Structure 1
């Protein structure tokens, strides 16, 4: 039986691609939610009922909950019954996890505590990160560690997100969740909070297992994508259509090969497997090899484009998509963006036309350059010598292929087979 602790007021630390949807669904479920972010423009947007990024269905919920007064945002950490930490966990150095954002969030929470609060780490992190967060807080507030009764204890738990960008507002509610507490009581309290909005099964375990489970899910995907990407390179060298090859192979009842692409991006699959590798470099051989394959795929695409461009005078390349996946504006760890940047650097007397329907301005790496332009689809294709498909956004799928007949098409997504 979970502790009898009120969970009426929740503070979500970090209002990014996961934190803001989490805050929104909790507010929609009737909790009083205070979002915290260091970016004043994000705080201002939320308080105005707007969202600072593209995610289907999110703005409607944010606008509604802000209007009802159940959601607000600020830059300072408040007092609350529960805290959900949803901050970045990038890697540093030799692909080791950078826990500095978690530490900063923990240091902001510690002075606000009075005892009995639930503190949830939702950021994807390596085994031991929840313990690290707890150690930071208890180091600042040692009185809570010394008096482990229900009125003065702190409850630490890990509940990693398991959602797909573009479907977050559906999957946040419907997907099963793994919840790992540093204690059984913490896991049960975390379960009670998430049951207020989640209709999926809530699976309780310890914190380290929960941390490893999320990394395992993403490493599994990464290994399977690496197989498809490696297969695409081999098939291309053998003069074989890799998409036809995969389609045929997948008719076997026990084969389900994923689709290749220009690489792997985003804040999860391109990052999380490294946390497993850094935790046990001696034995994480397959996971490390898969990361190597996927990290090398953008260079394969770049070399292919440059080989064709070398035959042209002042080549113009239309790069279709620089988000890390279809129908979103998220450019984090995007191999497509990396490809566009390197092509702009290496095309002699050439130009790169960026077609990304989900952004209004180019990212910092591509701004202020005469040889790079953000263009619409029809104009870019019309002007281009080489049309490079990097992301399978919906508008690209319905483009009139008759207009491609005199173009060099390099299709990394099998969109226009």
Structure 2
């Protein structure tokens, strides 16, 4: 049997392992099993990474959206191995997985080696702090559920503490302290999709926490949100008209935008910019950029680019080894006709997973591999229940169109539903959508503990 190993259970990796398992994992009624499929991930559960800003704001309970890898493996005829990739032996086609520890630090699983015939690396990306002084120590990233939950709990604690601080309110504006500043200020560094979406979700969170009596602060004036972007506008990767429309909506929500300001230092309670400005920050979220995991530059000589991504050809094979493929955020894939590579987006990972199903089938049949072509269907940014904004383009409408409001919100929500359909099929996706709606009708809009 051919041995497929998929390392990384993110959007692209899990979709690929699921579809490979469905096709090759158990073919007892089709003349025998052709391949063994193994998924490797350092965590036991999967959550769609674009949802983490909702987890951080408390508007989504991660435990209702997490998927157990072991269960998915059982349902779709592949094997799951928990562990972090820590070594590669290309000559012997072998990877090494690190030790897995339990919550008390005791060894749960030992270091192991797995042999492969085809290796697909899809370990995603991590937050890039760009060497900014204090950024890694005094700000929170949103790479994992644990980090998002930590921020949410700190936000609730900050609101409860601020209510009991000794500050005389200004008579003309009871929502601010005597100094005229908000009681709590959250600073978000990075005006990309994550930073923009989190800022809108936090405005809703402040309102809900007040309604449920966790604090008596004015959610509009007493909870300040500052979004800091080094470039001249937020959402620099999207069209300017999308950026402009989003900036107008955020301003209406009371989010303060600071563009053209590069963060030079993050310290406890304060941010200093390169222009000499200081920004008060009771909580700081770092969403200024991403980089590939450091392990990729240590994988037996596989070439990487300046961001640490694996250099791949249009077949998604690495430049140095035809037996190793890469997809998603960790792959530097050429985009013909564009100066940059395929962007690190969920839609790119989904397209690459679909492409690899065809390419790996050709590989099993000893046929030439096709070349991947990325199709940009546009981008959508959620502003919570307030609105959404984005642009549709390419194969969707044959051009480019700015969309916002309810239609954009519906389109944004459908992206996650399509991910669920890719993992479970459309019938289970419909049932999951209905179950999610029922839960939301009986629970508070924000997680309160």
Could you state the TM-score of these two structures normalised by the residue count of structure 1? 0.31
Bigger relative contact order (CA 8 A; separation at least 6)? 2
